[in-house]
Amino acid sequence: MKKISLIGFILCNFFLNAQEKEEYKKDSVFNKFDYFLINNDTATVNLDPVFLVKPLRFKDSNQSLYYYWYRKIVLKTYPYATLAADRLIALNKQLAQIKSASKRRKHILKMQNYMEGEFTNQLKKMTRTEGKILIKLINRQTGSTVFDLIKEYRSGWKAFWYQLTAKIFKISLKSEYHPESVGKDYIVEDILLHAFRDGSLIPQPAFKPIDFQELNYKYRNIDYVKEITAKD
């Protein structure tokens, strides 16, 4: 009986997911919770997110070479972007509880010193390409450009980011993340979702929702070499 119940549960899961296909088809991640009807009662089952990504197919070895080179850079820079986003969220929560302007400035400066101590050496070693991707990913995670973050938290972020751009010149701190219209950004998002699925990176959603299924169709014939080597 237990085996039959288990099979019934699996089939129930299959058919419910099939019925809800239309609801999910434009999402890059399935909901974390699914609902099942068992003996006329509902049960909530906590499921791991399922990332809907297309299989990687390349026209030639050159396409593959460029993709995996770019993937290496994205995997290197993404943790810094997520950590910066986490620090920003924490900073905003802390500042909301501080009424004194002078204490707020001191707290921001304290955060700056912490982040400089944690990241400066790594940032100084970044190439220009790595720096550009990092700035894009921070926009993905926070919804703000690095320029806006510097403007908002001038005393705490200005020195930190100018240390990066002093070496990696000609990087726009106003760069935004637009996978819906920029081929390079789509490739970054594709790399992230594959890495989330295979466990190479810890999943973290973008600040703004991304319709990745629609993007997959738009970029179904993407030329990785052309997009990755295109000038910004």
Kindly report, residue by residue over 34-86, the tens digit of the pLDDT: 444 455 555 554 555 555 677 788 999 999 999 999 999 999 999 988 987 88
Domain count, the chain: 2
Q: Cα 91 vs. chain centroid, distance in angstroms?
A: 20
Same domain, 213 and 194: yes
Is residue 76 located within the same domain as residue 95? yes
Amino acid type, 22: E
- The answer, as to whether pTM is greater than 0.75, is no
Q: 184 lies in which domain range? A: 54-232
Residues 88 and 8 in one domain: no
Same domain, 12 and 83: no
**Alpha-carbon gap, residue 180 to 186, rounded angstroms:** 7
Q: Is the pLDDT of residue 182 over 90?
A: yes
Domain check: are 149 and 35 in the same one?
no
Residues 230 and 162 in one domain: yes
> Does residue 26 surpass a pLDDT of 50?
no
Indicate whether 171 and 94 sit together in one domain: yes
Residues 36 and 67 placed together within one structural domain of the fold: no
Residues 6+ apart with CB under 8 A from 184: 227, 228, 230, 232
Please determine, for residue 165, whether its predicted confidence score (pLDDT) is greater than 80: no
Do 200 and 121 fall within a single domain? Answer: yes
